[in-house]
């Protein structure tokens, strides 16, 4: 079956702009989590959605938001981009909360 698909793979944006990233989970998986990965901070949890509801949220400012659609696809949005938002954004899907996570290849965001 198809894996987790993230689009786009690469993105360059200017400070102050906003960006939307997309994640299509594995078919049948209702949980989608988002992570930000940077060399300095490692993998930081952003939020998790399950059946269109945000179930958990990490310690990120309100500029970071997300949503999940009825088909389990998820989007995350970052508004008023800052240079420090440059990172690899990873999406992971799970069948259930206590099961393994399957990751997409990530979206590499560069803010200039």
Partner 1 sequence: SQQGEEDPQALSIQEGENATMNCSYKTSINNLQWYRQNSGRGLVHLILIRSNEREKHSGRLRVTLDTSKKSSSLLITASRAADTASYFCATLPPNNDMRFGAGTRLTVKP
Nearer to partner 1, 81 or 89 (CB): 89
Instruction: Write out the chain in H/E/C secondary structure.
Output: CCCCEEECCEEEECCCCCEEEEEECCCCCCEEEEEEEECCCEEEEEEEEECCEEEEECCCCCCEEEEECCCCCEEEEECCCCHHHCEEEEEEEECCCCCCCEECCCEEEEEC
Part in contact with partner 1 (CB under 8 A); list of ranges 11-19, 61-69, 73-81, 87-95: 87-95
Nearer to partner 1, 19 or 90 (CB): 90
Under the criterion CB under 8 A, does residue 97 sit at the interface with partner 1?
yes
Residues that bind partner 1 (CB under 8 A): 4, 33, 35, 37, 42-45, 48, 55-56, 58-59, 88, 90, 92, 97-106, 108
């Amino acid at each position: 079956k198809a894996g987790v698909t993230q689009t786009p793979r690469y993105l360059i944006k200017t400070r102050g702009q906003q960006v939307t990233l997309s994640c299509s989970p594995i078919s049948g998986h209702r949980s989608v989590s988002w992570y930000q990965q940077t060399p300095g901070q490692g993998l930081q949890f952003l939020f998790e959605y399950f059946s269109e509801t945000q179930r958990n949220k990490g310690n990120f400012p309100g500029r970071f938001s997300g949503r999940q659609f009825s088909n389990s696809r998820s989007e995350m949005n970052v508004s008023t981009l800052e240079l420090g938002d440059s990172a690899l954004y990873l999406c992971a899907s799970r069948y259930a909360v206590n099961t393994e996570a399957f990751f997409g290849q990530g979206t590499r965001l560069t803010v200039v």
